[in-house]
Amino acid sequence: MKRFSLLISAIILILFVCVMELALFNRYKPKPSEITWENVDTEDKESVRNSFKAFDPVMDYTDYAPELSISTVESLKRSSRAVSLPEGSESSFANSVSCTIDGVLGYIKFDYDLPGIPQSDDDKYYLFELATYENSHNDSYIASVSKRERGCFIFSYYKDRLFDKYVMAVKKNGAYVDICRGQYITNPEAVASYNYEYPTPSSKKGLIIDNFKVNNGSLKDLGVKQAAYNIPLGFLMGPTTSGNYGTIAFNYNGKTYSFNGQRVAEFDIVFKALTNQGIVTTAVILNDRGPYSERIHPNAVNGNAPYYMFNATDENGCQALEAAATFLAQRYSGTEHGQIVNWVIANEINARKDWNYMDYTDVTTYSEEYAKGYRLFYNAIKSVNANARIYTCLDQVWNRNLKSTDGYDARDVLDAFNNSIVTHGNIDYGVAYHPYPVPLTWPKFWDMPSNYRSMNLVQNNVDTPFITIQNIHILTDYLSQGAFLNPKGEVRSVLINEIGFGSDHGETLQAACFAYAYYIAAANQHIDGFILNKQTDHPVEMAQGLSFGLDYSGGGHKYIYNVYKNIDTASSYEATAFAKDIIGISDWSEVISNH
């Protein structure tokens, strides 16, 4: 028995020693991430140097070497697999490509991963640079590297390149043939001057504010956590019309753009007041007529609408939009003039005829034109404020499949927009949504009028014709699909930046509808804000049966005022108890579920 015990002890000791040796080996063995410049073979070192020097031959890149990541070193491995390019679809040959900035070292890195070595006239890949508005390139490339299955181009970054796209090509039969789609820089935040943490609000409660009330104490009394305000570019840009305010001259890429000093001062008052009260602010950028008409898409200039498609089809249009976006980001990323952290680029873009006019075309072309303008704003704003959130905007018409040419279904636009963004360099766009009731004039969204109910317009599935607040989870579920995730693999931010319930059918009904809707949004983890339209009734909307305000236009509060005030406080359920009888429930858990 004693011998047996000793044998068992010996076996245990041997196992322990083996485990410890294995642990020590795993701890101290060379890791891929520990590959250093000194460990890279001479041929690969030369390839990296050549990649750098292809653009800037006078620069000493020795100091850059230690910054090479394992992915860069591994990308230098040669491959012997020669393959033919797919005829007619050469630009889809690459498995993956990406274009990023190293903000510390000041270079751009274009990574590629190919399914093999494409057959061509020589042993080189060539990199071309195109402006946003360009669809093809000439024979002047900016860099070349030896063929490999995986690798990179490295070249200098400067501001002008922030909005350009890059395409990789081979030479075949004497001509350059693109083997990937144009790629934009996807991390403009790498060069941002503002890097503060995103100011997450303490609740989702927001309001489209009345600019005449920003300093009268009402926002504090209401406990507003988020606010939204429009910035029409035609209103903002151009010379000052008042002698009391000088025109603001803004130099961008060698050209001076004018901004109306009086109107800028008015925006300053609003945004400064909101920032001083700790309110997270959303600005909606709108493209109305006015100075610098090159902002408007050439296929939109003959339209008659409040707002128009951005013009990213030519140099003048791109420059004007970039200048406007950069001016706004620089002015409203700090606290001196107020701080904007959410930017919505255009309004309800699927409502083509009403809110983002461009001559009718197919939904893919329309969405791609918008995506080009959107990306200009995204890169301009993020290159100033790293953690700003930039949203596209859709209304509640999700999937009606109507034959009308007035607009498009939000789902079709979202699909086409997302495809364009992902194809040309995935970025962290967000979705601003307007899940109004159907019809707009009927606030009781869970119980539509019989003539609407019979049309089955709001369904609990992805093919629903409308997405209102009642089935808003359809949108967040849709965005949870793999094809729609952001570059980090996360569900994109969803912001309800406009929703309203009229008091035309009774003030208590309006308040009950708001309470029910707010609880739905609060229970959805992917919704980051619920911004109610609006603080004060607007006469134009009132004439349409849309008295959305917390306050009457002539002064005084409605019943909804105190419900809004308490909805995100410890008194929430007490303040909304009245609504349960209107909805027909005894407990909120009967109609509210987490998503």
Which of these, 336, 327, 224, 324, lies nearest to 282 by C-alpha position? Answer: 224
Task: Tally the domains of the chain.
Answer: 2
Binned at pLDDT 50, 70 and 90, residue 243 comes out as: confident
Same domain, yes or no: 159 and 233:
no
Same domain, yes or no: 181 and 208:
no
In a domain, 3, yes or no: no
In a domain, 86, yes or no: yes
Same domain, yes or no: 298 and 223:
yes
115: CATH: 2.60.40.10
Binned at pLDDT 50, 70 and 90, residue 208 comes out as: very high
Q: pLDDT averaged over the chain? A: 90
> Is the backbone peptide bond immediately before 439 cis, with ω within 30 degrees of 0?
yes
Same domain, yes or no: 404 and 273:
yes
Binned at pLDDT 50, 70 and 90, residue 104 comes out as: confident
| Range from 48-62, 310-324, 440-454, 568-582 carrying the lowest mean pLDDT | 48-62
In a domain, 285, yes or no: yes
Question: Cα separations (Å) of 319 from 256, 311, 326, 400, 581?
Answer: 11, 10, 10, 37, 56
Last residue of a domain, which of 124, 150, 185?
185
The residue that leads in pLDDT, 520 or 159, is 520
Phi and psi of 118, rounded to 5°?
-70, 140
Same domain, yes or no: 67 and 213:
no
Are 528 and 535 contacting, i.e. CB atoms less than 8 angstroms apart? no
The percent of residues in the chain predicted with pLDDT above 90, rounded, is 83
In a domain, 28, yes or no: no
Question: What is the distance between the alpha carbons of residues 262 and 243, in angstroms, rounded to a whole number?
Answer: 9
- Give the 3-state secondary structure of residue 92: helix
Confidence at residue 81, expressed as pLDDT on a 0 to 100 scale: 75
Confidence at residue 82, expressed as pLDDT on a 0 to 100 scale: 85
Q: DSSP readout, 171-183?
A: EETTEEEE-S--E
Same domain, yes or no: 163 and 242:
no
Confidence at residue 15, expressed as pLDDT on a 0 to 100 scale: 44
Amino acid at 86: P
Span 429-447, pLDDT tens digits? 999 999 999 999 999 999 9
For residue 101, the enclosing domain spans: 34-185
Span 135-189, pLDDT tens digits? 999 999 999 999 999 999 999 998 889 999 999 999 999 999 999 999 999 999 9
Same domain, yes or no: 152 and 274:
no
Residue 59 reports pLDDT greater than 60: no
In a domain, 10, yes or no: no
In a domain, 103, yes or no: yes
Same domain, yes or no: 302 and 264:
yes
Are 341 and 281 contacting, i.e. CB atoms less than 8 angstroms apart? yes
For the full predicted model, state whether its pTM sits above 0.75: yes
Last residue of a domain, which of 185, 218, 249?
185
Residue 124 reports pLDDT greater than 90: yes
Span 358-374, pLDDT tens digits? 999 999 999 999 999 99
Confidence at residue 51, expressed as pLDDT on a 0 to 100 scale: 52
In a domain, 16, yes or no: no
Span 551-567, pLDDT tens digits? 999 999 999 999 999 99
Residue 34 reports pLDDT greater than 50: no
307: CATH: 3.20.20.80
Same domain, yes or no: 180 and 211:
no
Last residue of a domain, which of 185, 218, 245?
185
Same domain, yes or no: 173 and 273:
no
Phi and psi of 377, rounded to 5°?
-65, -40
Residue 31 reports pLDDT greater than 70: no
Question: What is the distance between the alpha carbons of residues 340 and 271, in angstroms, rounded to a whole number?
Answer: 7
In a domain, 157, yes or no: yes
Binned at pLDDT 50, 70 and 90, residue 461 comes out as: very high
Same domain, yes or no: 87 and 226:
no
Span 270-289, pLDDT tens digits? 999 999 999 999 999 999 99
Same domain, yes or no: 166 and 241:
no
